[in-house]
Amino acid sequence: MTDVPVDGAAAARTAAPEGLTAAEEEELRAEIAKVEEEIGTLRQVLAAKERHCGELKRKLGLTPLDGLKQNLSKSWHDVQVSNAYVKTSEKLGEWNDKVTQSDLYLSASSTLEDWNEKLTQSEAYKKTQETLSQAGQKTSAALSNVGSVISRKLGDMRAHPFSHSFSSYSIRHSISMPAMRNSATFKSFEDRVGTIKSRVVGSRENSTDGLHSPSGAGEKPPQDNAPF
């Protein structure tokens, strides 16, 4: 392939279709240019109108979402009033009437109603319903009792500190147990307490006798030279 120089004007001007003269071709081309110019002007006018509409919507507080909702509502309204939608709705209504009025549908409905009536009036259904009702009542009563017991226990714990109540209860309970009192450890502990008690009582009596015994007039109490 070789490069061939091409005239720009000749390339822009295509061959005229058959049946058209040069004057008619020029007239058509002028009309095309005029129409394209009008289209450009209309586009500019449409853009200006859209900007003006957006400013008005912004002043009214309308958002693009509101515009979308309006467009969807308008589209749905157009669909509802369309001939295809109306015809489809009419066909569906006719089919529904035919189905609901057919013998098969009526017999199936009556059969289902008979089954439902027999089931609700059966002894097994009544017993099951009574059993479930009693179980629900018992469960509610048990939960209520548990709640009251827990509330009472919490009230007792708030009224008495845990450590004091536990220690006093454990000591009283351990002392009041017969097995604990009869054990060798408890008896040994009791003997030790008795021995200590007797010693303390004897020492108190001796000290009381020494304080009340009369002393001589010239006697002086012995001085303790031990350092304090």
pLDDT confidence of residue 26 = 92
- Tell me, rounded to whole angstroms, the distance of Cα 150 from its chain centroid: 28
As a whole number of angstroms, the distance between CA 118 and CA 116 comes to 5
pLDDT confidence of residue 46 = 96
Is residue 210 packed enough to be buried (19+ CB in 10 Å), middle (13-18) or exposed (0-12)?
A: exposed
As a whole number of angstroms, the distance between CA 79 and CA 72 comes to 10
State the Cα angle at 140 between 138 and 143, rounded to 5°: 105
The pTM is what? 0.27
- The dihedral through the CA atoms of 120, 125, 130, 136 has a sign that is negative
Per-residue pLDDT tens listing for the chain (228 residues): 455 554 544 444 555 566 788 889 999 999 999 999 999 999 999 999 999 998 998 898 888 787 788 888 888 888 888 888 888 888 898 888 888 888 888 888 888 888 888 888 888 888 888 888 888 888 888 888 877 878 777 777 766 654 444 455 555 555 555 555 666 776 777 777 777 777 776 666 666 555 555 444 444 555 555 443
pLDDT confidence of residue 5 = 52
Exposure letters 167-187 (e unless 16+ CB within 10 A, then b):
eeeeeeeeeeeeeeeeeeeee
Amino acid 64 reads P
Q: Taking Cα atoms as reference points, which of 90, 93, 70, 92 lies closest to residue 78?
A: 70
